[in-house]
């Protein structure tokens, strides 16, 4: 059985009087600068520069804090600039060729991709399930919503310390498992490089669940209850309704969560630092790309901002690639 | 539809651009004036070989690291005294939280030419700022600057500029001291005589091995992460870590380095250290206070920490001399430093305040503060009865007496490794400790990785 939703609402048309809620048109015009009401007032809305005026602050911010630093990073990636400034020489594509031969770079890339591959699907699905669980207005449900959201409010450092305590050889998790006779010796969560990486992923998931749960709660509110009721009357069970009504209803939110989580996963640093210390795990085996950028590019004494920038550009390309892939998949799914 | 797609793509590009910008790096600016320091235009008197001259007047900024909360009254008093002694001066005090991004933030301030006029720096930050030319050469700008200080501390206040020349860009301030702290009961269980501390690092390692056998997983000798021991142990053993010009790593050329790594691997395997502490940022404080680690941190303030937080363990605590090893004298490590920014608009005032802050009178006064366990770096201060006539036989008093006795002759020899180089070496030692590579290979690889980083630094 397939149930599809067709939601139709009146579409407001900007600039038309009937679409503007609130004060009467004449009073609204009185509040705005420019010519008096009438034909000239309507023309004011069509002035070419008005949209630019409203968006100017955002554009300026994006250029100053986003576009310019990005272009500067690209430019630096072709130099041997140092973090502390001073004369920088143009080195062509040397930084990029060095990157290709750098085993530490590839290790960091592998870790970053692995992080995204594991975290993104789980971060898309688990908060949705959580949101479905706490969506219903039951007595005391507010407590659970708050409890799930609490990790979002805690600082990453505090969360990291708590996880260190939980995952230590004599920490809560190992102690419980030993008491339950499930293990004989402690699981090396904090000394095995693979387990450190997995633990860091768990930390990211735990900290992000509540945040994305709120996204989904908002999205679930837009899924018409009538569809669920109709499907239920037709004999659809909870799982079927989840697949055929809930998931299509929140697909856009899922794509958004997937994209944001993908970008976040590729930029992960704090979790690795908290669980793997300054080396990024024993032997530096858990270093992700941002961790590696810090090591090679940002060290004030031995850093090479040029090489660090080249790795940053590679990280950007990776992020862009994954985002475009996600967009393409979404489009195919929609078509 | 097309416009919608375009808008979507643009929005996507902006998000990604912002993402990449978050990981972006800056290469710093450049000044075009006649006199420059780092990338900033500065007064000509602040650079070059001449003595700094000028009136002590005007406003300066003074930056400390996480001191305002506990020592606000003391520093406000010092500032008031200075302003009173020099009419027309004003000192604005700012206090940095001093987290692990301190060096990066300070470097960013320097690049923006907004470094505080007088600033409290540690050795790594001083190394970075000196290399880039952002600190005043106090040794040149005031030839008498060295007079109040114990010679070894003054010597430690030397850092290399961009040409590799060692210059005095800092004034020594306070130091923590180095002592061996241990749990007598746990040592007794391991058959170690607490009254006879070892005299070498390898001797200490041999004691760790005894603790591992006796502890059998119930208690440990120390923490595993080599980050706590590199380069301090190498310095202690007289292993040369970097070449004389600081441009290449040479520690691997000394066979004792491989022996040291072999010891670390052996001790880790034997259970002398908690397995999960191999790449942990936790120092021994917590486990020592729980009676689970036999050897504690090597500074007297740690003894006071144990006294306040774990009285039962404090009763079992004793202090001794940290092994002299090849140094032949006690090690005091690098102290905290006070620097003057070469970018200061009121450099004479800033230098005057820096010298006032670090003079014997002010150092002695602060070190007597009961809220702190630090030691002065001036000769006159160390002669003060407060440091010479320490009474009491409790571990804390003993630690203070021991350090005060050492400081006049102690070595402050400490290699200034960049965090990246230190991490590169530590990472390879960790692999050896896990048995993933031999000690010899780990040392060889560590030296190679360190050299890669040093080479890219130029």
**Per residue in B347-378, pLDDT tens?**
999 999 999 999 999 999 999 887 788 899 99
* A196 & A221 share domain: yes
pLDDT score of A283 more than 90:
yes
| CA–CA gap between residue A267 and residue A290 (Å, rounded) | 6
pLDDT at B181 over 60: yes
Gap between the Cα atoms of B321 and B398, Å rounded = 11
Q: Answer for the pair B443, B257: CB distance below 8 angstroms, yes or no.
A: yes
Residues 65-84 of A with CB under 8 A from B: 65-67, 69-70, 72-73, 76, 79-84
Average pLDDT score over chain A: 85
Contact at CB, A83 and B458, closer than 8 angstroms:
no
Q: How far is residue B411's CA from residue B405's CA, in Å, rounded to a whole number?
A: 13
Let me know whether A121 and A220 are in one domain: yes
User: Nearest chain B Cα to A87, which residue?
Assistant: B30
Strand B118-121 with B58-65, pairing: parallel
Mean pLDDT throughout B330-335?
A: 80
Give the predicted TM-score (pTM) of the model.
0.82
- By CB neighbour count within 10 A (0-12 exposed, 13-18 middle, 19+ buried), where does A22 fall? exposed
Cross-chain Cβ contact B278/A85 below 8 Å: no
- Residue B440 φ/ψ region, left for φ over 0, alpha for ψ in the -120 to 50 degree band, beta for the rest: alpha
Nearest-angstrom CA–CA distance, A29 and A41: 7
CA pair distance B100, B97, nearest whole angstrom: 9
The 3-class secondary structure across B327-378, one letter per residue, is HCCCECCCCCEEEEECCCCCHHHHHHHHHHHCCHHHHHHHHCCCCCCCECCE
Query: How far, in Å, CA of A129 to CA of A201, rounded?
Result: 19
Q: Are B83 and B77 in contact (CB under 8 A)?
A: no
At A109-165, the pLDDT tens digits run 999 999 999 999 999 999 999 999 888 888 888 888 888 898 889 888 888 889 999
Give the other-Cβ count within 10 Å of A1's Cβ. 9
Whether A196 and A232 map to the same domain: the answer is: yes
Q: CB distance from A151 to chain B under 8 Å?
A: no
CA dihedral over A18, A24, A26, A28, signed as positive or negative: negative
Examine the fold and report which residue of A92, A121, A151 is the final residue of a domain before the chain moves on.
A92
Residue spans of alpha helices (H) in B368-418:
379-382, 385-388, 395-407
Chain A residues inside the 8 Å CB shell of B164: none
Give tens-digit pLDDT for B17-38.
444 444 444 433 333 446 888 7
Task: Give B241-268 pLDDT, tens digit per residue.
Answer: 999 888 899 999 999 999 999 999 999 9
Query: Residue length, chain A?
Result: 335
pLDDT of residue B30: 36
Do residues A150 and A228 share a domain?
Answer: yes
Chain B hits for A278, CB-CB cut-off 8 Å, are 227, 281, 419, 423, 426
Contact A283 B131 (CB under 8 A): no
Helices (H), ranges, B101-141: 102-111, 123-131, 138-141
Q: Which residues pair with B331 in a beta bridge?
A: B411
A297 → chain B, closest CA residue: B25
Q: Which of A72, A80, A299 sits opposite B26 (nearest CB)?
A: A72
User: Does a structural domain hold residue A141?
Assistant: yes
Residues A65 and A152 in one domain: no
3-class DSSP state of A94: helix
Binding-face residues of A in 173-232 toward B, CB within 8 A: 186, 188-191, 196
Domain boundary among A92, A120, A147: A92
The number of distinct structural domains making up chain A is 2
Residue A158 covered by a domain: yes
Question: Is 0.85 exceeded by the ipTM?
Answer: no
Summarize the confidence of residues B38-59 as an average pLDDT. Answer: 87
A13 touches chain B (CB under 8 A): no
Task: Suggest the residue from B15, B132, B279, B419 to mutate for an interface test with chain A (most A CBs closer than 10 A).
Answer: B279
Answer whether residue A23 is part of any domain.
no
Residues A59 and A177 in one domain: no
User: B270 falls in which pLDDT band (50, 70, 90)?
Assistant: very high
A308 at B interface, C-beta within 8 A? yes
pLDDT score at B353: 97
A226 and A299 inside one domain:
yes
Q: How confident is the model at residue B457 (pLDDT cuts 50, 70, 90)?
A: confident
Of A69, A188, A298, the CB nearest to B276: A188
Query: Do residue A75 and residue A198 come from a single domain?
Result: no
Across A205-223, average pLDDT = 92
Determine the 3-state secondary structure of B18 from DSSP: helix
The helix or strand, by DSSP H or E, that contains position B180, with its residue range, turns out to be strand B180-183
Span of A206-210, B193-197, B440-444 with lowest mean pLDDT:
B193-197
Claim to verify: residue A76 and residue A100 sit in the same structural domain? no
> Helices (DSSP H) in chain A: which residue ranges?
25-31, 39-44, 49-62, 68-76, 94-100, 103-135, 141-153, 156-167, 172-179, 193-220, 225-233, 238-241, 247-249, 251-266, 270-276, 289-293, 305-334
Q: Distance (Å) from the C-alpha of residue A237 to the closest C-alpha of chain B?
A: 37
On the question of pLDDT at B11 being above 90, the answer is no
pLDDT of res. A223: 87
**Domain CATH number, residue A126:** 1.10.3720.10
* pLDDT tens, residue by residue, B68-97: 888 899 999 999 999 999 999 999 999 988
Of B24, B39, B127, the CB nearest to A72: B24
Q: Please give the residue range of the domain that contains residue A79.
A: 52-92
Strand positions, DSSP E, B18-129: 36-37, 40-41, 58-65, 89-96, 118-121
CB of B415 within 8 Å of a chain A CB? The answer is no
Asked whether the beta carbons of residue A316 and residue B16 sit closer than 8 angstroms, the reply is yes
Tell me, yes or no, whether A79 and A124 share the same domain: no
Chain A residues within 8 A of B280 when measuring between CB atoms: 164, 190, 277
- CB distance B274–A169 less than 8 Å? yes
Gap between the Cα atoms of A295 and B19, Å rounded: 19
Does some domain include residue A30?
no
Task: For residue A43, tell me if it sits in a domain.
Answer: no
């Amino acid at each position: 059985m397939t149930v599809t939703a067709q939601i139709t609402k009146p579409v407001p048309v900007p600039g038309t009087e009937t679409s503007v809620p609130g004060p009467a048109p004449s009073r609204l015009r009185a509040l705005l600068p420019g010519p008096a009401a009438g034909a000239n007032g309507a023309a004011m809305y069509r002035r070419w520069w008005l949209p630019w005026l409203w968006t100017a602050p955002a554009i300026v911010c994006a250029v100053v804090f986003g576009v310019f630093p990005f272009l500067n990073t690209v430019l630096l990636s072709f130099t041997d600039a140092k973090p502390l400034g001073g004369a920088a020489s143009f080195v062509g594509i040397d930084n990029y060729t060095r990157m290709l031969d750098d085993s530490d770079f590839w290790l960091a890339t592998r870790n970053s991709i692995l992080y995204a591959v594991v975290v993104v699907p789980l971060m898309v699905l688990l908060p949705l399930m959580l949101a479905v669980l706490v969506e219903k207005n039951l007595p005391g449900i507010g407590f659970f919503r708050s409890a799930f959201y609490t990790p979002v409010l805690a600082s990453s450092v505090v969360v990291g310390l708590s996880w260190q305590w939980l995952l230590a050889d004599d920490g809560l998790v190992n102690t419980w498992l030993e008491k339950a006779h499930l293990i004989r010796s402690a699981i090396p969560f904090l000394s095995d490089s693979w387990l450190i990486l997995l633990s860091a992923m768990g930390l990211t998931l735990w900290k992000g669940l509540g945040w994305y749960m709120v996204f989904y709660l908002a999205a679930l509110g837009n899924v018409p209850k009538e569809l669920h009721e109709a499907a239920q009357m037709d004999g659809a069970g909870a799982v079927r309704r989840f697949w055929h009504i809930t998931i299509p209803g929140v697909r856009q939110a899922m794509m958004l969560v997937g994209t944001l989580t993908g970008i976040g996963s590729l930029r992960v640093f704090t979790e690795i630092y908290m669980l793997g210390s300054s080396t990024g795990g024993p032997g530096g085996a858990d270093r992700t790309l941002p961790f590696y950028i810090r090591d090679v590019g940002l060290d004030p004494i031995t850093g090479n901002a040029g090489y660090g920038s080249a790795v940053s550009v590679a990280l950007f390309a990776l992020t862009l690639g994954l985002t475009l892939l996600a967009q393409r998949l979404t489009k195919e799914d929609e078509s | 539809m097309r416009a919608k797609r375009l808008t979507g793509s643009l929005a996507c590009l902006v998000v990604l651009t912002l993402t990449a910008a978050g990981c972006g790096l800056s290469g710093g600016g450049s000044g075009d004036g006649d006199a420059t320091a780092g990338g900033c235009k500065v007064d000509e008197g602040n650079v070059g070989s001449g003595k700094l001259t000028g009136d002590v007047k005007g406003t300066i900024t003074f930056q400390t690291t996480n001191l305002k909360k506990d020592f606000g009254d003391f520093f406000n008093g010092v500032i008031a005294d200075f302003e009173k002694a020099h009419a027309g001066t004003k000192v604005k005090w700012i206090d940095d939280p001093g987290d692990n991004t301190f060096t990066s933030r300070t470097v960013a301030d320097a690049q923006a030419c907004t470094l505080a006029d007088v600033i409290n720096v540690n050795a790594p930050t001083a190394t970075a700022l000196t290399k880039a030319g952002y600190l005043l050469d106090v040794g040149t700008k005031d030839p008498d600057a060295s007079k109040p200080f114990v010679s070894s501390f003054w010597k430690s206040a030397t850092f290399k500029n961009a040409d590799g020349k060692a210059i005095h860009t800092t004034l020594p301030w306070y130091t923590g001291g180095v002592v061996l702290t241990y749990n007598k009961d746990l040592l007794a269980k391991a058959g170690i005589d607490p009254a006879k501390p070892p005299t070498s690092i390898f001797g200490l390692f041999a004691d760790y091995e005894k603790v591992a056998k006796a502890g059998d997983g119930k208690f440990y000798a120390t923490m595993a992460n080599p980050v706590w021991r590199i380069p301090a142990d190498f310095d202690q053993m007289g292993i040369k870590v970097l070449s004389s010009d600081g441009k290449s790593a040479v520690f691997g050329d000394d066979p004792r380095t491989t022996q040291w790594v072999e010891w670390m691997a052996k001790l880790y395997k034997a259970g002398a250290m908690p397995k999960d502490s191999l790449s942990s940022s936790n120092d021994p404080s917590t486990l020592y206070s729980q009676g689970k680690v036999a050897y504690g941190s090597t500074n007297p303030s740690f003894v006071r920490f144990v006294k306040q937080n774990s009285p039962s363990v404090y009763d079992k605590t004793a202090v001794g001399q940290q092994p002299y090893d090849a140094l032949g004298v006690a090690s005091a490590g690098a102290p905290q430093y006070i620097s003057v920014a070469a970018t200061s608009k009121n450099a004479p005032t800033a230098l005057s305040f820096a010298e006032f802050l670090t003079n014997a009178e002010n150092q002695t006064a602060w070190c007597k503060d009961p809220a702190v366990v630090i030691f002065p770096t001036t000769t006159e201060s160390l002669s003060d009865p407060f440091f010479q006539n320490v009474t009491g036989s409790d571990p804390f008093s003993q630690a203070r007496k021991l350090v005060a006795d050492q400081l006049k002759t102690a070595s402050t020899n400490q290699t200034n490794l960049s965090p990246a180089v230190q991490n590169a070496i530590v990472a390879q030692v960790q692999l050896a400790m896990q048995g993933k590579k031999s000690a010899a290979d780990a040392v060889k690889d560590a030296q190679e990785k360190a050299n890669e980083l040093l080479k890219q630094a130029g």
